[in-house]
């Protein structure tokens, strides 16, 4: 299994709820995926399984050549970068930005940490520079704007040089300028051939960064469609995913969507 992710029949149940229903999904090296779906569709659950934070009730979740349940998750986790609102809430507000980034490496480096400490700090500085947040290094996390926090979280998620980067709604809560800045930065990461495989969760087509390659559309725990963005992101698939007739527009390398106007309530 050389895929980054190889999910076969992945199902997650909690009580009477089926959060993910028979998901087959492969992510390969170099791919940049967008996961699109309405609230409650199962997007975060899908990312939690990919991040080894949740196990399937049934099915097989192949992650970086290992099978979840048959591998020590603490060996896999440093190979996976994750940015989510839940993780951000656990960052102490008084922590310095440079420490927020550098501490991501402690899990991996463990007892060798002392030897590598200055290398770690150099890497944290480089990552902050790359995402346009170097000037924030000596601020405390609590004093940052929402957009600045999102950038710092992404730098932190990249600290262990992961093979897979998972971003759960990184644009949520950003103003227009913050969103556009983030989309441009994610687009630049996506264009970098040395960047890890990327999976970005959103519920807005406006947030799909240029250079992303594939899309997975999900509704009520089931995959509606998946594949290369140009052929998979259609009005019909998007309408089915969000449960309403939608008009989808492409402007250069960006998308926008809105409810279909007028008396036409059929799917395009
Ligand atoms: N621990 C849980 N027990 C029961 N239901 C849950 C649990 N966690 C999430 N859910 C439900 O599963 C569905 C999918 O949740 P989630 O993956 O967070 O969706 P999304 O990220 O797409 O908004 C939602 O309806 C949510 O309420
Ligand atoms: Mg979610």
Express as a percent the part of the chain with pLDDT over 90. 82
pLDDT of residue 110: 44
pLDDT of residue 149: 93
Q: Measuring CA to CA, how many Å separate 194 from each of 162, 198, 210, 213, 259?
A: 11, 11, 17, 15, 38
* Rounded Cα distance, 175 and 240, in Å: 28
What is the position in ligand 1's atom list of the atom closest to the CA of 38?
Answer: 22
Q: Per-residue pLDDT for 251 more than 50?
A: yes
Alpha helices in the chain (DSSP H): 43-50, 73-76, 85-89, 97-102, 106-109, 113-130, 146-158, 176-191, 229-232, 235-242
Q: Per-residue pLDDT for 83 more than 50?
A: yes
* Rounded Cα distance, 25 and 199, in Å: 12
- What's the whole-number mean pLDDT along residues 65-91? 92
- Residues, beta carbon < 5 Å, ion ligand 2: 43-44
What ligand has the least distance to the C-alpha of 21? 1
Backbone region of residue 62 per phi and psi (left: phi > 0; alpha: psi in -120 to 50; beta: other values):
beta
Confidence band of 268 (pLDDT split at 50, 70, 90)? very low
Is domain 3-259 in CATH 3.40.605.10, yes or no? no
Q: Per-residue pLDDT for 84 more than 60?
A: yes
Contacts of 13 (CB under 8 A, 6+ apart): 19, 57
User: Could you tell me the strand order of the sheet in which 5-14 lies?
Assistant: 17-27, 5-14, 58-63, 66-67
Task: Assess contact for 260 and 268: CB atoms under 8 A.
Answer: yes
Pocket test for ligand 1, best of 10, 13, 42 (most atoms within 8 A of CB): 42
Closest CA to 195 of 234, 225, 154: 154
pLDDT of residue 114: 54
Name the residue with the closest Cα to ligand 1, atom 6: 14
Polymer length in residues for the chain: 268
Closest CA to 205 of 242, 167, 166: 242
Write the pLDDT tens digit of every residue in 4-50.
Answer: 999 999 999 999 999 999 999 999 999 999 999 999 999 999 999 99
Where does ligand 1 bind, in terms of residues with CB under 6 Å?
14-15, 17, 19, 37, 39-45
Supply the DSSP symbol for 261. P
Write the pLDDT tens digit of every residue in 85-136.
Answer: 888 888 999 999 999 999 887 754 444 555 557 888 899 999 999 998 999 9
CA of 47 relative to ligand 1 center, distance in Å? 12
- What's the whole-number mean pLDDT along residues 178-185? 94
Domain ranges of the chain: 3-259
Name the residue with the closest Cα to ligand 1, atom 1: 14
Predicted TM-score (pTM) of the model is 0.93
CA of 183 relative to ligand 1 center, distance in Å? 26
pLDDT of residue 120: 87
Pocket test for ligand 1, best of 11, 45, 84 (most atoms within 8 A of CB): 45
Q: At what angle do helices 176-191 and 146-158 cross, to 10 degrees?
A: 20
Supply the DSSP symbol for 1. -
In the chain, the largest separation of any two C-alpha atoms, in whole Å, equals: 68
Q: Can you read off the two tokens belonging to residue 59?
A: 């099915």
- What's the whole-number mean pLDDT along residues 168-187? 93
* Rounded Cα distance, 213 and 229, in Å: 6
CA of 143 relative to ligand 2 center, distance in Å? 25
> What integer best gives the mean pLDDT of the chain?
92
CA of 40 relative to ligand 2 center, distance in Å? 7
What ligand has the least distance to the C-alpha of 84? 2
CA of 40 relative to ligand 1 center, distance in Å? 5
């Amino acid at each position: 299994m050389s895929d980054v992710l190889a999910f076969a029949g992945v199902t997650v149940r909690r009580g009477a709820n089926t959060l993910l229903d028979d998901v087959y999904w492969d992510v390969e090296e170099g791919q940049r995926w967008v996961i699109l779906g309405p609230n409650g569709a199962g997007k975060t659950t899908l990312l939690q399984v990919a991040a080894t934070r949740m196990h399937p009730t049934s099915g097989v979740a192949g992650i970086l050549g290992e099978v979840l349940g048959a591998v020590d998750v603490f060996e896999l986790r440093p190979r996976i970068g994750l940015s989510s609102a839940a993780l951000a809430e656990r960052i102490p507000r008084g922590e310095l930005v440079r420490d927020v980034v550098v501490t991501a490496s402690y899990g991996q480096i463990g007892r060798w940490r002392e030897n590598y400490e200055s290398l770690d700090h150099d890497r944290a500085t480089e990552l902050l520079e790359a995402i346009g947040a170097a000037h924030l290094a000596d601020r405390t996390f609590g004093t940052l704007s929402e957009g600045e926090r999102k950038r710092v979280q992404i730098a932190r998620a990249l600290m262990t040089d992961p093979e897979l980067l998972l971003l759960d709604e990184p644009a949520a809560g950003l103003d227009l300028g913050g969103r556009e800045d983030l989309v441009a930065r994610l687009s630049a990461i996506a264009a970098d051939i040395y960047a890890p495989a990327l999976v970005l969760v959103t519920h807005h087509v406006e947030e799909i960064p240029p250079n992303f390659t594939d899309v997975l559309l999900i509704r009520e725990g089931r995959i509606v469609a998946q594949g290369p963005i140009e052929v998979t992101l259609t009005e019909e698939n998007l309408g089915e995913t969000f449960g309403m007739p939608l008009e989808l527009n492409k402007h250069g390398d960006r998308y926008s969507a809105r409810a279909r106007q007028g008396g036409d309530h059929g799917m395009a």
